[in-house]
Structure 1
Amino acid sequence: MSALKAHEVARFLARPDLTEGIFLAYGPDTGLVRETAQKLIRSLTGDDPESASLVVLDGSEVDADPSILAVEAKTISLFGGKRIVRVRGATKSLVMTLTELRDDPGGAAIVLEAGNLAPKDALRALVEAAKLGRALPCYPDNDETLTALIRETFNQQGIRVDADVIATLREILGNDREITRRELEKLSLYAASSKVLTREDVLLLCADNGALVIDAILDATGGGHAEKLELALNRALSSAVDPQRLLAMTTIHFANLRRWRVEVDAGKTPRAVLDGLRPKPHFSRAAALEQQLRLWTDSALAVASDRILQTTADSRRRPALAETSLRRALLAICMMAASH
């Protein structure tokens, strides 16, 4: 059986071409792995989920007693109905047992949940090669899939969103489907009565996830506020925000400052430059951005931009030192701003 591509999984879940066999949901997005397994089970049980016989096992249970998986798969339900065995935390230690069930699962559906598996992983290879096997890759949402999920969620609730809400949520969400779902449900509940959601609402309710803290890092760096920078960096990095992402955002920020500074040098006031931007920066950042345009000269911005680019290159060569390189570079640039 040829392996399913990530973009084919949703179509498969809507209409599975198998009702028995071994199904493997795997990938780095544990929330999406769990959601995929749940959707598959709902599809397999059809219109009568209550009649299904569902057994849930943990991978460690099966490791301790490999025979339990085969026993549960082959045990006929006293009340009939679809037999489904769900195994969480599945690993290649199940391969021997699954090999016995691969060609004759006895009508049962074995739904496995696993982490990110390499193509040559024994568990993934077994399922992909099995006639009665389907491997379902679960990778973090990209801009396209995340936008579709956001729109679908709010459309189902009849909630109207401002134009910049989706862009803001794309910055905040996407690393884990379960967290994304939870945050979207929270926003839907918040807007249940008004049926309107604004960017301010999103930042108020979801800021801890990333967007606001990244803005804080950028403005503290560009504004010369070392203490605020330290606090914002600690907050972002403790929330698993990738240092490479922060370097990329800082690169964009200083490129924008340099572009805007050209207009200031041509005679415009910083406020006039910011007012003329489309889309306009959020009003909460207007004062900080205006201050940065007054602090920095074009030549100083060029030096800062070079430092960021060099740090990005260094951190890619030595990923283990990415966080240290990020901290040093941003603090050095922050000190440049403070000295102006």
Structure 2
Amino acid sequence: MTALKAHEVARFLARPDISEGIFLAYGPDAGLVRETGQRLIRHFSADDPHSASIVTLEGAEVDADPSLLAVEARTVSLFGGKRIIRVRGATKSIVMTLTELRDDPGGAAIVLEAGNLLPKDALRALVEAAKLGRALPCYPDSDETLNALIRDTFAKEAIRVDADVISTLRDILGNDREITRRELEKLCLYAATNKSLSRDEVLLLCADNAALVIDTILDSTGAGHAEKLELALNRALSSAVDPQRLLATATIHFATLRRWRGEVDAGKSPRDVLAGARPKPHFSRTSGLEQQLRLWSDSALASASERLLQATADSRRRPALAEASLRRALLGICMLAATQ
């Protein structure tokens, strides 16, 4: 029985211990599932990529005609090369066909890509139990695996990065390996000439600029910085960010501050409150949020939240005045913060 652990997959992909059989990439990270399938195909066709016979089938095709997989696996390659069959979106409907191929795949490599499968799933159980079968779990990157991926990618391209680039990227990137790869490839292309990357360049190229300007609006309002607030608001509104979206986000921000403030009033330090927050705020905002927690009292936060709710109601009754309601509410709260 061969059931690989998630941390063993990378080592297996670097040097698979079998060259034929059934290979199942499965898990919740669809991007990593696709990448794993692609890496297996590249490995099995590397000896003679020109003569390799690669057939790609969709799960729906095989579901409609399960015998199609067996026919493709048993067909002799026209040029005598490696026979590779890839099935995307594989399901347990092909278990009967795979049972026929499990012990004698005829030299073919059958690469299956599937979603998140429970241990008792018939497809996963069959592959894990097969002598010529390998099941490769694909789970979202942890902080450690994401850090390693970022470092390895830049090291391979001989790109020097500032000390805070890796932590910045880790906070920006999500849990889909395919998206992560695309973002890293974009950065490598950008840095191909200078062979260096700064945090500011990473933020410029990868961060959601709308999200960044919204963070600036929230933090400027909460800290009482009227000039920064005005500049950030102008940028957001000129970029067609919906005023009602900004009101909703500000309402959530101040409600969150009030919840955190309750923890501070109960005896926690602002730093400890933020360290235990889920989702964890971006590290670049930590000091600003600490300042806001120290600045605002519970009653003042309640007043700010009430003002935002009233502005939201006004904007819904009179959508044409949504921007004016937004500006009036945020500036009023900003001035209140400045007097705390």
- TM-score, scaled to structure 1: 0.69
1:25 aligns with 2:37: no
CA distance in 1, matches of 2:332, 2:92: 51
User: Partner of 1:258 in structure 2?
Assistant: 270
Instruction: Give the 3 Å change call, closer, same or farther, for CA 216–77 of structure 1 in structure 2.
Output: same
1:74-132 C-alpha deviation (Å, 9 max, x unpaired): 00112111111000011111112111211221111110001111111111111111111
1:172–1:209 contact (8 Å) kept in structure 2: no
1:293 aligns with 2:291: yes
Instruction: Give the 3 Å change call, closer, same or farther, for CA 71–185 of structure 1 in structure 2.
Output: same
1:127-150 C-alpha deviation (Å, 9 max, x unpaired): 111111110001111111111111
Instruction: Give the 3 Å change call, closer, same or farther, for CA 109–8 of structure 1 in structure 2.
Output: same
1:61 aligns with 2:73: no
Gaps (5+ residues) in structure 1? Answer: 238-242, 261-280, 308-333
2:270–2:293 contact (8 Å) kept in structure 1: no
1:30–1:176 contact (8 Å) kept in structure 2: yes
C-alpha deviation, 1:294, in angstroms:
7.2
User: Partner of 1:37 in structure 2?
Assistant: 37
Q: What is the one-letter code of the residue matched to 2:81?
A: G
Q: What is the one-letter code of the residue matched to 1:194?
A: N
User: Partner of 1:318 in structure 2?
Assistant: none
Matches within 5 A, 1:213-252: 215-216=215-216, 219=219, 222-223=222-223
2:2–2:130 contact (8 Å) kept in structure 1: no
Two-structure CA RMSD over aligned residues (Å)? 4.1
CA distance in 1, matches of 2:269, 2:333: 15
C-alpha deviation, 1:27, in angstroms:
0.8
- TM-score, scaled to structure 2: 0.69
The count of aligned residue pairs is 279
Q: Secondary structure at the match of 1:51?
A: coil
Gaps (5+ residues) in structure 2? Answer: 273-282, 306-330
1:111 aligns with 2:111: yes
CA distance in 1, matches of 2:332, 2:270: 18
Instruction: Give the 3 Å change call, closer, same or farther, for CA 162–185 of structure 1 in structure 2.
Output: same
Percent of residue pairs bearing the same amino acid type: 69
Q: What is the one-letter code of the residue matched to 2:6?
A: A
Q: What is the one-letter code of the residue matched to 2:291?
A: L
Matches within 5 A, 1:182-197: 182-197=182-197
1:85–1:108 contact (8 Å) kept in structure 2: yes
C-alpha deviation, 1:20, in angstroms:
1.1
Q: What is the one-letter code of the residue matched to 2:288?
A: L
Q: What is the one-letter code of the residue matched to 2:200?
A: E
User: Partner of 1:82 in structure 2?
Assistant: 82
